Amino acid sequence: MSEHIKRGIALEGGGAKGSYQLGVMQAIHEIGVPYEGVVGASIGAINGAMIAMQDLKLMEDVWLGTEVGDIINGDKELLAKLVKLDFKEDADKLRQLVIDTIKQGGLDVSPYRAYLRRIVDEEKIRSSNIEYGLVTLSLTDLKPIERFVDGIEPGMLIDYIIASANFPAFKLEKINNKVFLDGGFFDNLPVNMLIERGYDEVIAIRIMGMGRIRKVKKEDADKVVTIIPSEDLGKTLEIDPKRAAYNMKLGYYDAYRYFKKLKGKVYYITEVWSEDDVFNRLANLPNHLTTQLMNTMDVQQPPRRFIFETLLPTLCDVLKLSRDAAYGEIFLAFYEALAEEAGIERLTFYTLETLIEAVNAHYSKEALELTRTLDGLSIHLLNFIKNTGIALIWSKQRRQFLEYILYLLLQSDVSTERQMISNLPKGNQ
């Protein structure tokens, strides 16, 4: 019988970037990863409250239904430009808005605080089987406050949540005659709260917010697993439903990558070929392909030696992989690089085969044009790869080198292609 693992979730503060955490939580629930507690700072405390209420639907409605005007009092259009730091237009009005904001002591977020009081159900959190905690900082007492719900006076939970999310740009409000600052000033990712509470494992969901993060003791480091966004999540106050929807989707796929051990650095690959299979496909590349590549690179070697001693090391350099990378890793990175260059949809699940199909479908439409992009300068530079090193080759030529290899693959006859890559579409006639 397996030993029970007490698992908790720590949510980092970071304002509007917090929508990413919802996507991660949706994946955690879908996959079935159990957890017994959740703690957070700032927006992490707000998200954590809804997670403790066990209401991800409410959390989704909040993120997809909230705009900057629902959070901050003032001219919605000007505020939207201000939080995005877009000063190209209405510069005078924006300047005056900044001056007025400074005079009143910060942005007026009374609508946001009123909204929190409507949606957060203290009784539901207190009776939940998901333990809830938060962190804030008392400016009046100059001391941090880390509390679980059982240490907060009845009727005061929402006040503490508001205190935890008292972002420096917001107009400060007192609670019981004390001024509180955003929890990120003390610990923006309160992993230690859970460890000190006796949790065996902590899933830390980063959103790369501004703030201090307390170090975890060395002896506790192996208790923490961290999910980090694979893309920039935008600006801290960029409160926009479209941006939130994208960040949620990103969080969902990043969580799946972690928990399901998906392959790929850019795309989310559920199935790949075995090393033996990739080796055999590489070893059986058609002779005309290797001959053309050797001519391009000014190399004279037996075909198989060229593939494994020259082509693959060069591909590793182009793709910024270690030269001892596995064959499957090189093969996947090759198609990922081409897919990214082609703008093929990233946030979806692929097998290696379906990713190859998507890449080939895109590039086969313009197969003839691919060689035309290899102008005289490109060929000249490629000829000196073996002597000068790939580091001296411009990014444009790196990309063209990959496209050139794909072009040769697409020009292979159908029978050879089928031996090499299943379902590879026939190239230009």
CA–CA separation, 66 and 45 (whole Å): 17
Owner of token pair 């989704």? 60
State mean pLDDT over 337-347: 95
| Active site (catalytic) residues | 42, 182
Phi, psi torsion values for 98, nearest 5 degrees: -65, -45
388-393, Cβ contacts within 8 angstroms, sequence gap of 24 or more:
389/317, 390/314, 390/317, 390/318, 391/317, 393/318
* pLDDT interval class at 29 (50, 70, 90): very high
How far, in Å, CA of 347 to CA of 268, rounded? 7
- Exposed/middle/buried for residue 339 (C-beta within 10 Å: 0-12, 13-18, 19+): buried
Query: What pLDDT shows up at residue 414?
Result: 35
pLDDT given at position 231: 96
List, for residues 133-184, the tens digit of each pLDDT value: 999 998 888 889 999 999 999 999 999 998 898 876 666 667 778 888 889 9
d(CA 78, CA 381): 50
What is the model's pLDDT at position 98? 47
Task: Give the CA count within 13 Å in the CB-facing half-sphere of 169.
Answer: 14
Of 318 and 333, the structure prediction assigns the larger pLDDT to: 333
| pLDDT higher than 60, residue 90 | no
3-state secondary structure of 132: strand
Q: What is the mean pLDDT of residues 219-226?
A: 97
pLDDT average, residue stretch 99-104: 50
- pTM score, whole prediction: 0.85
Does 380 score more than 90 pLDDT?
no
Give residue-wise pLDDT tens across range 172-216: 667 778 888 889 989 999 999 999 999 999 999 999 998 999 999
Q: Are 213 and 187 in contact (CB under 8 A)?
A: yes
CA distance 107 to 267: 39
pLDDT at 233 over 80: yes
User: What does the pLDDT average to over 105-114?
Assistant: 72
Structure tokens at 56: 């991800």
Local confidence band at 410 (pLDDT 50, 70, 90 cut-offs)? confident
pLDDT at 69 over 90: no
- Maximum CA pair distance of the chain? 82
Rounded (to 5) percent helix, strand, coil in the chain: 55, 10, 35
Main-chain phi, psi angles of 226, to 5 degrees: -125, 130
Per-residue confidence band for 80, with pLDDT thresholds at 50, 70 and 90: low
Mean pLDDT estimate for the chain: 83
In this predicted model, what pLDDT tens digit does every residue of 236-293 receive, in sequence order?
A: 888 889 999 999 999 999 999 999 999 999 999 999 999 999 999 999 888 888 888 8
